[in-house]
Amino acid sequence: MEKIERVKRELIHKGTILDIYEDTVRLPNGKEEKWDFVSHRMGAACVLAVRPDGKILMVRQYRNALDRFTLEVPAGKRDSLEEDTSICAARELEEETGYRAGKLEKLLALKSTVAFCDEFIDVYLATDLEKIGEQHLDEAEDIDIEAYDLNELMDMCYSGTLQDAKTVAAIMAYAAKK
């Protein structure tokens, strides 16, 4: 495989979570192209949380990029570059659902959109859940908690009802583990 060389990277927009760049790359044939690159500075974690009754906790929230509500596993970005993703996963579970995990196990690591973004998300399984209180949402969050059987969620994945990559990956990894 021949080498592709990045000639230049120009910051187009600096956001609160993401930075957007325009890269100039030189292809093996010598031609230069412009490619978009989105840098997710913090990385993230998500958690598939299984209650003692076997039901999986899901969160329903509005997603601006899709202009609709989606059903997802609890997730969020790390608070700092040094924060371990297991700490992030545990925090997001508590904040978004009011549950604490007695056991937290890493299932897999993924890159969300490799064609143009470097975001990584570590996927965790939370078991031995304990209800510790109410949600502790950020000011801009409005999240409803729902619970489903694994088979229901698998059906939603295969029917296209669930399309969020981290959620589908978490459900499939858990199903393969069972």
Distance CA 79, CA 163 (A): 26
Strand partners, 148: 56
Q: Are 91 and 136 in contact (CB under 8 A)?
A: no
**7-38: buried (b, 16+ CB within 10 Å) or exposed (e) per residue?**
eeeeeeeeeeeeebbeeebeeeeeeeeeeebb
Residue 147, token pair as written in the block:
């619970």
Q: Are 73 and 48 in contact (CB under 8 A)?
A: yes
Distance CA 90, CA 92 (A): 6
* Choice among 139, 141, 146, 152 that is catalytic: 139
Distance CA 17, CA 34 (A): 23
Closest by Cα among 163, 159, 168 to 123: 168
Query: Is 139 annotated as catalytic?
Result: yes
Q: Among all residues, which ones are annotated catalytic?
A: 139
